[in-house]
Amino acid sequence: MTAAIQFIDSEPQVNDLKDISKSALLTRPDLHEATEGEFKGWRTWTFDSFLNQSGPFWHRVDADRTVRCAFRAQKKHLNGHGNVHGGCYMAFVDYCVFAIAGLVLDGPGVTVSLSSDFLNAAREDELIEATGQVTRAGGSLIFVRGELKSGERLLLTFSGTIKRVKQKPRTCGNIEPP
């Protein structure tokens, strides 16, 4: 994949790919696209049972190659004070880090670092959106930063690091192949 790099705070950012249609973000076998409702045309992944229970969380790639993530706060996302639970924010942030990195992550990865600053609360029925950028994509690590907003209200800022992992061939314990 060819990418144009823009520097942000002396770190490169991937913001333009010649052909994003082949990116892992858009070609994963577990990718589901909403065909109706508020998130029609947005996509999500179905492989992660935790995210399936926590979300639904959605993402899309805008015309300018910005990856945008969103979810509508529901009662199940709230803490005892009626605000979106911090754990829900963090599960969503982890989802966002992978979505934002998806244009440069060409295979599996794991979160090795995730940090955030909680700045404001969100309530039930609010649309929570995230945007961000890849600040550096090396051979084994991808660095991402971004923010969550509800309308123009800044809710949280975040940064995360993904480690690319190589898939090992699966073995059947000590059983020899036929």
How do the pLDDT tens digits run along the chain, 178 residues long? 333 333 344 444 444 445 556 566 666 667 888 999 999 999 998 887 888 888 899 999 998 889 999 999 999 999 999 999 999 999 999 999 999 999 888 888 999 999 999 999 999 999 999 999 999 999 999 999 999 999 999 999 999 999 999 876 555 555 444 4
Q: b/e for 65-97, b at 16 or more Cβ within 10 A?
A: eebbbbbbbeeebbeeeebbbeebbbbbbbbbb
What pTM value is reported for the model? 0.81
Considering the domain delimited by 3-164, tell me its CATH architecture. Answer: Roll (3.10)
* Residue 9 per-residue DSSP state: T
Contact in structure between 147 and 157 (CB atoms under 8 Å): yes
Q: Where in the chain are the domains?
A: 3-164
Quote the DSSP letter at residue 104: T
